[in-house]
Structure 1
Amino acid sequence: MPIVDPRTGDTISAAAEPNTAHVSAPQDSDLILEVDRSNIQQVLELSTRVPVLLDCWAPWCEPCKNLMPILEKLVREYAGAFLLAKLNIDDNQEIAAQLGVRSVPDVKLISQGGLVDQFQGALPEKEIREWLSRYFQAPENASLSPEEQAEQALTEGDTATAGAIYAELIQQNPEQYSHMIQLARVRVAENRNDEARELLDALPPEERDAPAARGVRASIEFGEEAPGAETLAALEGRDDSEANYLRALRQVADANYEEGLEGLLAVMKSDRTYGDDLARKTLLRVFDALGADHPLTVTYRRKLFALLY
């Protein structure tokens, strides 16, 4: 089935004979498709059932790399209202030529086998949302601010979405340093500690030493200081201060903060001398990592105060 541009009447034919494999209706797990000669015809046929956002990109294109995570986030957010099909123009030059792609990124909205609309360049997320709103009802969480959406994604373990949002926010406003700190948090969650450190090191001195950045550094350090599986296994059956401290540290590194804080408090109660009051010092570092307003920080500061005084 050819793509017909309704504005020019030009026909864009598929670059290969259609594959006979069946293309099923979109599911949550297949909202994002890779397009090449083997399946371009099926993608066009699929657009008769669900609109397809065709992202034409190239590996050497930096704006493409910035745009793609935003489009991936949006297709997940819209939950099946449209599909995202990605076409590497370097590997599929004939298809790109037939599509009239002259520069990338080039994003085309295809429905019923026809070209509905398109835009070129790595538009900011806000403008892409406005563009999509011409054709699709905004998802329920569209009323959330980008920061709220990123935090929600990170809470749900969707680090890819959270990272894409913060990267876009940094691009829009490079001097909003809180976004760099939040992106560093995402990188820690992805076990990309070196990248997280680079982000923190790039901050101005006053931001680098502020509580938020110190908290992220503390999270990195917890992961590096905490015992691994082999060490934990060796601690099995031990009930001394060192073993209990290391177990609590592992809980903190794994983001099981309440269990970790409770364990650190227990070590402090039983043995203030362990490691030169190490349990109390680590509690304070965890408070830094969580932030002053976190409910666990508030609760365990009170418990720490009660124990001390």
Structure 2
Amino acid sequence: MSYELKNFQEDVLERSRTIPVVVDFWAPWCGPCRTLGPVLEKLAAEQAGRWELVKINSDEHQDLAQQFGVRGIPAVKLIVNGRAVDEFTGALPEYAVRQWLDKALPTEEKKDIAAAEALIEEGQVAEAMGKLEQVLLSEPTNAQAAGLLAPLVVLQDPERAMELAGTAATAEPRFAQAAHAVQTLAHALLRDDFSDLEGEDGVGPYRGAIEAIREGQPGAAIDLLIEVLGKNRYLDDDGARKLGVALFTVLGPGHEVTRSKRRTFDMWLY
């Protein structure tokens, strides 16, 4: 059976949305590649239906090798839902490849998390939330699912978001950073006592910014936070900066408010 690449879009990206695809970057002159190749082919046949193998000659497809950050071969990448989710480099022995597959191949929960990330990128938030809620029903302490869900619910349910952010704090850095932003935003949204700031410059627009976030007007909130930065940068322990950065983080780089207002906001920080 031939495992050589025929069409990258069909054989890898599209196929990985149905079944995990293991991509083996190799070259004919590479001795370790000739050792690892038969091992992967044996396991692909043995575990048919669990994952599929695609071999890519890195000499013939240098663009793909560069795209996947291949610096040495053999390089093996696990692709799920069009994304590389795990990898190893070098000619591992068969037992080690088996261990890697057992660890790296997605469970149903991992599949749902990967699918949810793809849905979020496509703007299908409701569908993503549904998948993440399913994961948390079966694994309530799943830090990745909590980290993805927290930013999606913080504006509507800050108390729930705080709980999720606490769970996500133990996840990998990108989820932990998002969790910190969620906690900052949720704390502001749940706050109803500003008596400690009474009499200070900028309190009015600061409270107005929080109310604008509650009302689903992030653009107006950023405008008010910029006003605070101009009046009293260190109000509420630099609260305007912290809240603005948290809001941009939760909205994400592709949101229209982030694209249109982040540069202006950042200018007021210096």
Q: TM-score, normalised by structure 2?
A: 0.43
Q: Structure 1 length normalisation: TM-score?
A: 0.38
Larger Rg: 1
